[in-house]
Amino acid sequence: MQISLEQILSVLMSKVEALEAAMDDLRLRNNIILRLIKRSGEIDKETIQEAVMEELEVSKKAGLIEEERETSSTVASLTDSIYNWLTGDVEEIKAKMDEYRKKMEEIMKEQESKVIDVAPPDFVKRLEPKEPKKNGGIIL
């Protein structure tokens, strides 16, 4: 069975688009839930830090994170990120998004320079020998 490169790319792109839509939906739902929690008035930086540490411990026990991995820097990073988002620090969010976009553009530029050669569908048939020699030659 032969599948064209266009068909493979089409399937992959549709999967990526479906994942992107699912991620956007989850992000929106998560943001709404966190905004509701914030309105309760019982959330501060220490509460966020405790929740992050608890989640990382659960992830370690579940085997999602290596047991010996140090998580203190992850705790600090996630705590700051969530707290800044909840308090509405839009400038930091924009700066991180700009940094992320720049990295993605660099990766895309690197990938553009790489060329993928694709053989035509009948390439393998052209490599096969026509007819074996009957004069004691080697038969492939």
- State whether 49 and 108 are in the same domain: yes
Same domain, 97 and 68: yes
Residue 4 DSSP symbol: -
52 and 36 both lie in a single domain: no
**Helix (H/G/I), strand (E/B), else coil: 120:** coil
Contact, 79 vs 52, CB < 8 A? yes
What pLDDT sits at residue 24?
86
Q: What is the pLDDT of residues 68-102, one digit of tens each?
A: 778 888 899 888 888 888 877 778 778 888 898 99
Q: Write out the two tokens for 73.
A: 């820097």
Same domain, 87 and 73: yes
- 34 and 56 housed in the same domain: no
pLDDT at 46 over 70: yes
> Is 134 a member of any domain?
no
Distance of CA 104 to the CA centre of its chain: 12
Q: Does residue 138 carry a pLDDT above 60?
A: no
Domain that holds residue 29: 8-41
> Are both 17 and 60 inside the same structural domain?
no
Q: How many domains does the chain have?
A: 2
Question: The pTM is what?
Answer: 0.52
Contact 75, 53 (CB under 8 A): yes
Same domain? For 36 and 73 the reply is no
For residue 85, what are the contacts with CB-CB under 8 A and spacing of at least 6? Answer: 34, 93
Same structural domain for residues 50 and 103?
A: yes
Q: How confident is the model at residue 12 (pLDDT cuts 50, 70, 90)?
A: very high
